[in-house]
A and B are shown apart, each in its own frame.
Chain A
């Protein structure tokens, strides 16, 4: 190892130098503190054995300067003093010296102390190498994380674009909605569309689980659930005799989806699918394991529709039913996902169905869009602004006051 030996006493320096060389080290000599400091700055020497009392820059001050300089490498410093007083030791250590030698220095003492110092330097180098490796890995992780995040953001945007236009109106109905995925992408999706001149259709579904796998099934379903006959839609088919398009009843739609989407991995989805016929003002609804929609009557009456049903995708031979009810001008139907009722506050209490109904009852005279915004606010403050653990979806359909 290269050692910088600093002593203004020529003979002492030569003796020590000889000892160190004999022990296999390469020695660079300096005759005073300033000279030593120059060597340290201009080379990569990391080991200094220095006399304490020297003219100009004393050994202890050289040590202070080394420590204050914030060099990129660690410099191990052994101070030599002829006095051996405890107070010297303390002052020296305070100044940042790693070890002490009391003059006259024996060869053995020098040997073992230098070896101890070598060990420290090796450990130090090991740490520095590990840190460098960690920094490299960190940069890599950072950039791959950014790539994943960018992909997720693009997927989220894609998913958003599958949702209805805000405040869509069709056939005497108006819809408004809110969508708050818990991550970038969601297992929830919903839509509202005119089926033909006399009917509107709508659905809200929730794929089990979280994250990308749930979102992928969710996106697939939203592409499949289209009112266009030509794209293999489970919602409409062409009547073989009349060749006119006909709408499948809600339970038939769920049955078809159940046939097509049998799960291979415990994944399933819950769903509400409804059709409103504008001529008869009849709502037909199929409920596949999803919380029933809330019917908010024009008179403020609040009612939950549906008595339950099995989710989609679990078993092939499942019966699904359909409920039927009348809707009137001014009625509003709110579909929601369980991220709403299962929203937890800081004590772990769920928002719950009762609170939801109370909220809707208390604000039933407000415009639907405001009501939805207010509900999201309510949920946000319930959670105390913590992030929601589940996707929150709200789809409201209003029967226009005046029919076309």
Chain B
């Protein structure tokens, strides 16, 4: 599970470089996010613009990461494509994660 990382102020923008977040990569995906959190990143923006598909395991991993970042942290999403956005709408994940079009929008909203 590869990411492209950028730091803007105190926000870490991690772009997912895989097109599918499915069962076979869900565990390393979650581990990578948890590692970011353990290393002290409290404001995380996940760029999903390359992701065309997330399955139930992938969603579970995302939610697990959200729980891990805790009340004082923020895990925001940006760049969700149509299939992913539809899935988030169906499962009301768009009420749970703050979702933005671009990384800049997300960073602006998350920065303190």
What residues on A are CB-neighbors of B57 within 8 Å?
Answer: 208-210
Residue of B nearest to A353 (CB): B86
Residue of B nearest to A187 (CB): B56
Partner of B60, one of A209, A291, A309, A390: A209
A270 within 8 Å of B (CB atoms): yes
Residue of B nearest to A309 (CB): B92
B28 within 8 Å of A (CB atoms): no
Q: When the two chains form their complex, are residues A208 and B89 in contact, meaning their CB atoms are under 8 A apart?
A: no
Q: Give the residues from 263 to 309 in chain A that come closer than 8 angstroms, CB to CB, to chain B.
A: 266-268, 270, 289-291, 308-309
Q: When the two chains form their complex, are residues A206 and B56 in contact, meaning their CB atoms are under 8 A apart?
A: yes
What residues on A are CB-neighbors of B39 within 8 Å?
Answer: none
Q: How far is the CB of B1 from chain A (nearest CB, A)?
A: 16
What residues on A are CB-neighbors of B84 within 8 Å?
Answer: none
Cα A342 to Cα B64 in complex, Å, equals 23
Q: Give the residues from 179 to 221 in chain A that come closer than 8 angstroms, CB to CB, to chain B.
A: 206-210
Partner of B89, one of A210, A290, A308, A311: A308
Q: When the two chains form their complex, are residues A266 and B60 in contact, meaning their CB atoms are under 8 A apart?
A: yes
Residue of B nearest to A209 (CB): B57
What residues on A are CB-neighbors of B56 within 8 Å?
Answer: 206-209, 268, 270
What residues on B are CB-neighbors of A390 within 8 Å?
Answer: 55
Partner of A266, one of B63, B90, B92, B96: B63
What residues on A are CB-neighbors of B55 within 8 Å?
Answer: 342, 390
Those 7 A-B pairs whose CB atoms lie nearest each other, nearest first:
A208-B56, A266-B60, A289-B91, A266-B64, A310-B92, A308-B90, A209-B57
Residue ranges of B at the interface with A (Cβ–Cβ < 8 Å): 23, 26, 30, 53, 55-57, 59-61, 63-64, 83, 89-92, 95-96
CB pairs A–B below 8 angstroms (11 shown): A208-B57, A208-B59, A209-B26, A209-B57, A266-B63, A266-B64, A268-B56, A268-B60, A310-B91, A310-B95, A342-B53
Residue ranges of A at the interface with B (Cβ–Cβ < 8 Å): 206-210, 266-268, 270, 289-291, 308-311, 314, 342, 350, 390
Q: Besides A208-B60, A308-B91, 6 other CB < 8 A contacts? A: A209-B23, A270-B56, A270-B91, A289-B91, A290-B90, A310-B96
